[in-house]
Chain A
Amino acid sequence: MINSLMGDSDFEDLYENAPCGYLSLRPDGRIDRANKTLAGWTGYAADDLPGLRLSELLNMAGRIFFETHVSPLLRMQGFFDEFALDLLTKDGKRLPAIANARERRDDAGALLFTRLTVLRAADRRRYERDLIDARKQSDELKVALEERLRQERENAELREQFIAVLGHDLRNPLASIAAGARLMLKAKTPEDGLRLEAMMQSSVGRMAKMIDSVMDLARGRLGGGISVSKSITGIEPVLDHVVAELATAHPDRGIETQFELETPVFCDPARIAQLFSNLLGNAISHGARDRPVRIGAMTKSGVFELFVANSGASIPAEARKRLFQPFYRGAAHGPSEGLGLGLYIAAEIAKAHGGTIDVASSERETRFTFRMPLEGDGSLRPG
Chain B
Amino acid sequence: MYARESVRVAVKFRNNVQVRGSGEQAMMFAHGFGCDQNMWRFVAPAFEADFTTVLFDHVGAGRSDLSAYDRQKYSTLAGYADDVVEIGRALGLKGAVFVGHSVSAMIGVLAAIKDPELFESLVLVGPSARYIDDGDYVGGFSAQQIEELLSFLEENHMGWSAQMAPAIMGNPDRPELGEELTNSFCQTDPAIAKEFARVTFLSDNRADLAKIKARTLILQCSEDIIAGMQVGAYVQRNIPGSQMTVLKATGHCPNLSAPAEVVTAIREFV
B-contacting residues of A (Cβ < 8 Å)? Answer: 28-29, 55, 59-65, 67-69, 71-73, 75-77, 79-84, 86, 125, 128-129, 132
Contacts and interface: CB of A to CB of B under 8 A. Distances in A.
B182 A79 contact: yes
Nearest to A84: B155
Nearest to A82: B157
B253 A73 contact: no
Contact of A71 (B32, B33, B148, B257): B257
11 contacts: A59-B148, A61-B153, A64-B225, A67-B224, A67-B226, A68-B32, A69-B156, A71-B257, A76-B185, A81-B182, A125-B155
A187 to B, nearest CB: 70
Interface string B26-53: 0000001111001101000000000000
A95 to B, nearest CB: 14
Contacts of A55: 225
B155 A132 contact: yes
Contacts of B182: 79, 81-82
Contact of B257 (A59, A73, A75): A75
Nearest to A75: B256
A73 B152 contact: no
B171 interface: no
Given A77-B183, A77-B184, A61 B257 contact: no
A69 B38 CA distance: 12
A83 B156 contact: yes
Nearest to A81: B182
Contacts of A69: 34-35, 156, 158, 186
Contacts of B151: 61
Contact of B34 (A72, A77, A86): A72
A80 B152 contact: no
Contacts of A86: 152
Given A60-B149, A73-B183, A75-B253, A65 B156 contact: yes
Contacts of B183: 73, 77, 80-81
B250 interface: yes
B156 A84 contact: yes
| Secondary structure class of chain B's binding surface, majority of residues | loop
B251 interface: yes
Contacts of A29: 223, 250-251
B153 A65 contact: yes
Interface residues on B, range: 35 or more
Contacts of B184: 77
B152 A71 contact: no
B18 interface: no
A142 B204 CA distance: 34
B264 interface: no
Contacts of B152: 61-62, 65, 84, 86
B159 to A, nearest CB: 10
A64 B154 CA distance: 14
B104 to A, nearest CB: 12
Nearest to A62: B152
Nearest to B149: A61
A173 B35 CA distance: 73
B185 A77 contact: yes
A60 B226 CA distance: 10
A128 B157 CA distance: 11
A256 B183 CA distance: 75
Interface in B152-200: 152-158, 182-186
Contact of A72 (B39, B141, B148, B155): B39
B149 A72 contact: no
A63 B145 CA distance: 11
B256 A71 contact: yes
B252 interface: yes
B9 to A, nearest CB: 29
A65 B157 contact: no
A60 B183 CA distance: 23
Contact of B145 (A60, A75, A77, A81): A60
Contacts of B252: 67-68, 71
A125 B156 CA distance: 10
A237 B157 CA distance: 70
Contacts of B149: 60-61, 64-65
A59 B148 CA distance: 9
A72 B38 CA distance: 9
Interface centre among A29, A68, A71, A75 (most CB of B within 10 A): A68
Contacts of B154: 132
Interface in B117-161: 141, 145, 148-149, 151-158
Nearest to A100: B182
